[in-house]
Amino acid sequence: MLKRIAIIGASGVVGERMFQLLKERNFQHDSLELFASEKEGRFLEYEGEKFPIRPVSTADFSNIDVALFTAGTEPSVQYSQVAADAGCLVIDNTNVFRMRDDVPLIVPRVNLNSLTGIPKSNIIANPNCSTIPFARAIQQLDQQFNLKEAVVSTYQAVSGAGKAGIVELENEAKAKLDDVDYIPEVFEEKIAFNLIPRIDEDLASGATMEEQKMRQETRKILDRPSLPVFTTCVRVPVANCHSEAICLTFENEISLTKVIEVLETVPELTLHLGKGRESYPTPLEVSGSHNMHIGRVRVDKEYPNKLQFWLVADNLLIGAALNAVQIAEGMRSEGWI
């Protein structure tokens, strides 16, 4: 069994969680190496044991069996292919490989069964942080009721922009309360007491890259290449957890009872089906949860083939680190690594 593991981007918010999850979930390994940029003298700690974080330029990928890449686009372009060519299985958390035909895009709770072993490319891509919970929430509904169209608006936390995004929200909010001016550095506009309806670059289509990722990746994961998916992605002043308002249109009429029966079979999903305050999850309460949370589930009597609901998931876990670790766990349980 392959047991030499590495995390590239280990000092980031996602990398730190990957480290914790590998340890807490007892993912067996002989060695666990941590890498980031050239800054020296840092480490992560688990139960008193210190793991140094070294510059990725010093990594010897021929001596690593599985590498979790979460250091951003540039390092993935520079090192992921090098690692894969050296025989290391790369699980990549960036946008670099997701749409490549020879790279599977995997959400283990949805399409692990599309893998038959380690892919020839030696690379598996982790989808976008909003796409993962979205695909997990809609797959079984699609299979049961035949999805015709999906419309989703996201409310994305600042942690989606990494450690620096969280720090910017905190500093900016404090500056605003202290009546001091603040010039944003991470986001293109002030985010405290505000929201920004544009994430990532603009495309010729009028959509943003983030919106296009959700459409294209959902189609690839669900193997529905022409599924109409309409997305609006918005950054909101929430520290952690992405929320999504989802509206699905099915071929035929559905009933709330049957929808709930299906949702109850989705693994690692908490349903909020009570009244009033019990009818919805919030980012604050969901932060740190290994489950997706869904509430406000409703079928409109006027449109009985449409379903609406509210979804909240921890983007650093469900949307990134946990999914990557579950890919590794799934590969291991199949005996491939």
Ligand X SMILES: NC(=O)c1ccc[n+]([C@@H]2O[C@H](COP(=O)([O-])OP(=O)(O)OC[C@H]3O[C@@H](n4cnc5c(N)ncnc54)[C@H](OP(=O)(O)O)[C@@H]3O)[C@@H](O)[C@H]2O)c1
Residues in contact with ligand X by the rule CB under 6 A: 9-15, 36-37, 39, 56, 70-72, 74-75, 93-94, 129, 159-160, 162-164, 315-316, 319-320
Q: With the C-alpha atoms ordered 237, 239, 110, 220, is the resulting torsion angle positive or negative?
A: positive
What is the DSSP code string of 265-331?
TSTTEEEE-SSGGGG---HHHHTT-SSEEEEEEEE-TTSTTEEEEEEEE-TTIIIIIHHHHHHHHHH
The minimum distance between CB 307 and ligand X, in angstroms, equals 26
Query: Which residue's Cβ lies closest to ligand X?
Result: 12
End-to-end C-alpha distance for the chain, whole angstroms:
6
Q: Where does residue 81 fall: left (phi above 0), alpha (psi -120 to 50 degrees), or beta otherwise?
A: alpha
The verdict on whether 29 is a catalytic residue reads no
User: Of the candidates 24, 11, 12, 8, which has an alpha carbon nearest to the alpha carbon of residue 329?
Assistant: 24
> Among residues 29, 233, 241, 242, which one is catalytic?
242
Non-local CB neighbours of 298 within 8 Å, separated by 6+ positions = 256, 307, 308, 309
> How far, in Å, CA of 48 to CA of 28, rounded?
18
> How far, in Å, CA of 97 to CA of 222, rounded?
17
The minimum distance between CB 10 and ligand X, in angstroms, equals 6
Q: With the C-alpha atoms ordered 190, 202, 321, 43, is the resulting torsion angle positive or negative?
A: negative
The minimum distance between CB 214 and ligand X, in angstroms, equals 12
Nearer to ligand X, 9 or 295 (CB): 9
For residues 281 and 195, the answer to whether their CB atoms sit within 8 Å is no
The minimum distance between CB 69 and ligand X, in angstroms, equals 8
The minimum distance between CB 167 and ligand X, in angstroms, equals 10
Sheet containing 42-46: order of strands: 42-46, 49-55, 31-36, 4-8, 66-69, 89-92, 123-125
> Among residues 29, 88, 129, 272, which one is catalytic?
129
The amino acid occupying position 126 is: N
Phi, psi of 208 (to 5 degrees): -95, 165
The verdict on whether 129 is a catalytic residue reads yes
* Number of DSSP helices (H) and strands (E) in the chain, helices first: 10, 13
User: CA distances (Å), 115 to each of 110, 220, 304, in order?
Assistant: 11, 13, 36
**Where in the sequence numbering do the catalytic residues fall?**
129, 242
